[in-house]
Amino acid sequence: MNIFALIMGLFAAGIVAAASERVHAHAPRWISLIAFVVALIYTSSAWLGAGSGTEEYARQVLPWIPQFGIQVFLVLDGLSLMLVALTAFLGIIAVVSSWSEISERHGFFQFNILWVMAGVVGVFSAFDLFLFFFFWEVMLIPMYFLIAIWGHENRSYAATKFFLFTQISGLLMLFAILSLVYFNYQATGVITFNYFELRNASLDPDVAWWLMLGFFVAFITKLPSVPVHTWLPDAHTQAPTAGSVILAGILLKTGGYGVIRFAVGLFPEASQDFATVGMLLGALSIVYGGYMAYSQSDFKRLVAYSSVAHMGFILLGVYAFNEIAMQGAVVTMVAHGFSTAALFMMAGALQQRLHSRELSKMGGLWVLAPRMGAMTLFFVVASVGMPGLGNFVGEFLALLGAFQAHVPLTIAATIGIVVAAVYGLSLMQRAFQGVPNPDVGEIEDFGAREMTVMILMMIGLVWLGVYPQLVLDLSAPVITSLGVAGL
């Protein structure tokens, strides 16, 4: 599989989509949709084409800046492949969910969506640290534009805050990357940004600890975790639906991916020393995110805070440092991609119909729009962690593994699941049940377009919940290669 072509193809599709607006106002969204469908088919075929037990599905090396030992070095292993496929899938969802939401500048809108996704695919497949950082920042600017141009009332604040948080933490990571390369250069006399070579760098434990911290801060800002999560509720709330879907579904996962691949992968010993702090932040995010979610009156803000809580499970799972917990973190990443994307799509659909995200302006909507109600119920229940659905598998594995590592923190995190049930059901209750709100007139229920993508995501969650083995098989070799103990 040619990953470079995939990334370049998405970039090129973005340019074509932007230019095609002159031909027809609807052309950009079709181009965007086709691009993501092709990307999904291409990625899946690489998966299906490979035999079981494959560790690498693709590898590509191209020269770039030889003076600094920088290469375009792209690899798809199981973890990367899974996330790239998720990216392409959520790309489809994002395009469909904003099908009729955007009223102006369609070309530039689809351009930004395609470029974010191209950057994300690059992040998931780059094994050269310079290239990784490059893509890490590339996905930032189009996302900024998505919020700043098509966002809601307070978009300036939200977009700037999002950019500042990510960029500043990114600078710390750049600092850490360059220091790592330099210390490796001092030891070996070779300048390289190659992931596999830098993994073998012999570092002073103190230095390794500081470098690990540089990566860690950048990734938990993106994830996000308490205490650097404050950009997320604003960005999610103000972004247009497609923006929220991409943010929650995919961009947050780059943080989780980074923690696993780089913070833990490059600095295993330092991360082990840091494990308790990592788990503590995870547990804090779970409890605090859940608590904050319950106190929101804005549909999107509520879901945004619930994301903080779910992302806590990823940190908890990764820093428990055993295979089961880390598998839980990976499954949570995928499952959260489906469930939260669906909820944001729902929030966007409601906003389009009611021109408000306030729960107080909803109520009794099930009667008016039964299909929307049923869909919301399903995804709320999934997000709460109902057995049989994807999120349950992820959270259960993460907690099971974490219990081996740190009992009090695991208990605290388990309380978070209870809180999740409270805010999830309260959301359902306030929006869809109860006495119909007299201010709401007729609203249009979901049509075939919306139902199709919702059902696709339902299938994804049920499949993950009932038979997660495919995902586990994909990520197992990666986790083993990190040197994490099995159980």
Q: Given the complex with another protein, which of 23 and 164 has the nearer CB atom?
A: 164
What is the distance between the alpha carbons of residues 347 and 361, in angstroms, rounded to a whole number? Answer: 13
The only residue of 4, 30, 64, 209 in contact with another protein, by rule CB under 8 A: 64
The only residue of 23, 41, 171, 374 in contact with another protein, by rule CB under 8 A: 171
Q: Does 145 bind another protein (CB under 8 A)?
A: yes
Residues 6+ apart with CB under 8 A from 51: none
The only residue of 55, 182, 374, 483 in contact with another protein, by rule CB under 8 A: 182
Alpha helices in 189-274 (DSSP H): 195-199, 205-222, 231-238, 241-246, 252-258, 265-266, 268-273
What is the distance between the alpha carbons of residues 257 and 79, in angstroms, rounded to a whole number? Answer: 8
| Stretch of 27-35, 45-53, 58-66, 313-321 lying at the interface with another protein (CB under 8 A) | 58-66
User: What separation in angstroms does the CA of 290 have from each of 22, 302, 416, 480?
Assistant: 46, 9, 6, 32
For the bound state, the minimum distance from the C-beta of residue 140 to another protein, rounded and expressed in Å, comes to 8
- DSSP letter string over 390-446? HHHHHHHHHHHHHHHH-HHHHHHHHHHHHHHHHHHHHHHHHHHSSSPPTT----PPP
What is the distance between the alpha carbons of residues 46 and 58, in angstroms, rounded to a whole number? Answer: 8
In the region spanning residues 278 to 317, those forming contacts with another protein, defined by CB under 8 A, are none
Alpha helices in 126-204 (DSSP H): 129-138, 140-150, 155-188, 195-199
| Stretch of 90-98, 145-153, 331-339, 479-487 lying at the interface with another protein (CB under 8 A) | 145-153
The only residue of 51, 52, 67, 438 in contact with another protein, by rule CB under 8 A: 67
The only residue of 36, 42, 144, 288 in contact with another protein, by rule CB under 8 A: 144
Q: Does 266 bind another protein (CB under 8 A)?
A: no
Q: Does 23 bind another protein (CB under 8 A)?
A: no
Neighbours of 104 (CB within 10 A): 9
If binding means CB under 8 A, how many residues of this protein chain bind another protein? 31
Supply the Cα-derived Rg of the chain in whole angstroms.
21
Q: Does 179 bind another protein (CB under 8 A)?
A: yes
Q: Does 172 bind another protein (CB under 8 A)?
A: yes
Q: Given the complex with another protein, which of 141 and 443 has the nearer CB atom?
A: 141
Binding site for another protein (CB under 8 A): 64-68, 105, 108, 133-134, 137-138, 140-141, 144-145, 148-149, 156, 159-160, 163-164, 167-168, 171-172, 174-175, 178-179, 182
